[in-house]
Amino acid sequence: MRERFNLDVATLERFTMLIHGGFGVGKTHFLGDMLKAESATGPVRFLNIRGEDGMLSIANTGLGDVGESVDTLKDMKDALADYAKLKLSALAIDGGKHFGRLVIKSVCGERLPSVGKGADDWQRIHTEFEATITSLRSVAPIVVMASSSDRSMDQVSGELSLTPDFPGRQAAGSGGQFDFVFVLKSTPVTPTRIKRSLLTSPVTNTVIRARLPKPLPAEIELVEGVGSWAKLKSELQKALTKGN
């Protein structure tokens, strides 16, 4: 199929994003803020991968009956197929680490992936992983996934990097699967206040990516309560149009 498109994009309308960081830094809360903001323009959905189960972080935010949990990769694919028919404004997926486990289980069942001559488990795992991530682009104009982080070895350079907690080479290579990959971190400022911010500019040995013509600020401080998503989208838009 041939399809023409305009390279002079003026607004950021369709993209996929991955947010990764340590436990308890506010990733699920950020997803809720995103959904709340995007719900003003259309229906939204929150997909929880069983095992993550951090939904209480966004309880009583006025989002209503938009959440669903899945136990298997088939369940997840069925849910995504249903969502694609709803003309969503946005989709949030919580549990990138557990999504990786669903993929491995779909290929290997209860056994560990096989390695060595003639073994193709990891090839099938990577193919399934990449196909599912690619399919997200057809589900909603904005899709944001959250994942815990891990220290992983780059299989090309051998260096250790801070990456999303994904299986195998997907850990270091996940930047190529999403339009944006940012790290969310939290820093205690006082006994009662925590500074939360997104690292959005490339950092050595850290998986961060932004497909934009202009660089973003190295760090974007998030706001307390709601408003962090709006602030990030504003910075993304400025990086898209700055200098045009």
pLDDT in tens, 98-134: 999 999 999 999 999 988 777 799 999 999 999 999 9
Condensed to tens digits (0 to 9), the pLDDT of residues 170-202 reads: 988 888 899 999 999 999 888 888 899 999 988
| Domains with residue ranges and CATH for the chain | 15-183 (3.40.50.300)
Condensed to tens digits (0 to 9), the pLDDT of residues 204-230 reads: 889 999 989 899 999 999 998 889 999
pLDDT: which is higher, 2 or 159: 2
pLDDT on residue 4: 85
- Residue 244 confidence (pLDDT) above 60: no
- Residue 2 confidence (pLDDT) above 70: yes
pLDDT: which is higher, 53 or 25: 25
pLDDT: which is higher, 159 or 142: 142
Its pTM stands at 0.93
Condensed to tens digits (0 to 9), the pLDDT of residues 65-86 reads: 999 999 999 999 999 999 999 9
Of 121, 97, 98, the C-alpha closest to 109 is: 121
How many CA within 13 A on the CB side of residue 63?
27
The token pair that represents 172 in the structure block: 């270091």
What is the average per-residue pLDDT within 13-21?
A: 95
